Amino acid sequence: MESDKIIELSQVCFQYPGAKSPTLKISQLDIFKKEKVFLYGPSGSGKSTLLEVLSGILQPQQGEVKILGENLVKMTSHQRDRFRANHLGYIFQSFNLIPYLSVEENITLPLVLSPSRRSKLTSADVSAEVERLCQHLGLGDLKSRGVTQLSVGQQQRVAVARALLGNPELILADEPTSSLDHDHRERFIRLLFEECEARGTTVLFVSHDRSLEKIFTRSLSFNEINQGGAE
């Protein structure tokens, strides 16, 4: 039977090389398909580290990290890179847009990196989907503009369009709203949610700022799920 869990983490321990104690010690974390989960915790507690473990960028020393039923820990690093490109959309705190590419080129980058994500769309679909996302996210006239010529709020919406293109099953968002004021933050998350609801995408959003938690379907305290961290 296909599981309704999209993230299933068990007995995970992750320690940075040279650190005195593990940053992550998580006995269990389950996230279900189509949930929109808000995970809050103070700066430096290990939220970004957890997202890197969930996306297979970092390998834990112990435990299982299952995404869509597949254990990342058992994969080769090449398989993990491929899995990430195929199934995950990652919205970084600093957006990680490529400065010498246009808005449209940044948005379509995941399709260049993932043939399987690309294969879900025809070329005509790609143009139509880029156009639709840009319209919905308020980037309609900016497609050919260089991303360095955008405001922070516009850059953030480019990062969202990039994460969504090609329909990855899971979106991981690492405090992408910290540079916006409250009204813009809420509007940004609502746009993200509208797109995710239309596609059945699951969202895991981490932040130190709890003011946005009420618009999510579930809220979790990082310090309650994690026994690791600074001594």
Q: Which residues bind ligand ADP (CB under 6 A)?
A: 16, 19, 23, 41, 43-49, 230
Query: How far is it, in rounded angstroms, from Cα 87 to Cα 226?
Result: 25
Closest approach of Cβ 80 to ligand ADP, in Å? 18
Backbone φ and ψ for 199, nearest 5 degrees, come out as: -105, -10
Closer residue to ligand ADP in complex, CB, 152/230? 230
CB 192 within 8 Å of CB 171? yes
Q: Is 179 in the site for Mg ion (CB under 5 A)?
A: no
Burial 122-153 (b: 16+ CB within 10 A, else e): eeeebeebbeebbebbebeebbeebbeebeeb
Token output for 64: 């299982």
Using CB distances below 5 to 8 A depending on partner kind, what does residue 46 bind out of ligand ADP, Mg ion, none? ligand ADP
Closer residue to ligand ADP in complex, CB, 46/89? 46
Closest approach of Cβ 49 to Mg ion, in Å? 8
Using CB distances below 5 to 8 A depending on partner kind, what does residue 168 bind out of ligand ADP, Mg ion, none? none
Closest approach of Cβ 175 to ligand ADP, in Å? 7
Closer residue to ligand ADP in complex, CB, 25/118? 25
Closer residue to Mg ion in complex, CB, 48/167? 48
Half-sphere exposure of 57 (CA within 13 A, CB side): 11
CA 84 to chain centre: 10
With the CA atoms of 32, 69, 24 and 31 taken in that order, what torsion angle do they form, in degrees rounded to the nearest 10?
Answer: 0
Q: Is 167 in the site for Mg ion (CB under 5 A)?
A: no
Helices (H) and strands (E) in the chain, counts: 8, 9
Using CB distances below 5 to 8 A depending on partner kind, what does residue 151 bind out of ligand ADP, Mg ion, none? none
CB 74 within 8 Å of CB 67? no
Q: Is 48 in the site for Mg ion (CB under 5 A)?
A: yes
Closer residue to ligand ADP in complex, CB, 39/150? 39
Size of the site for Mg ion (CB under 5 A): 1
Residues that bind Mg ion (CB under 5 A): 48
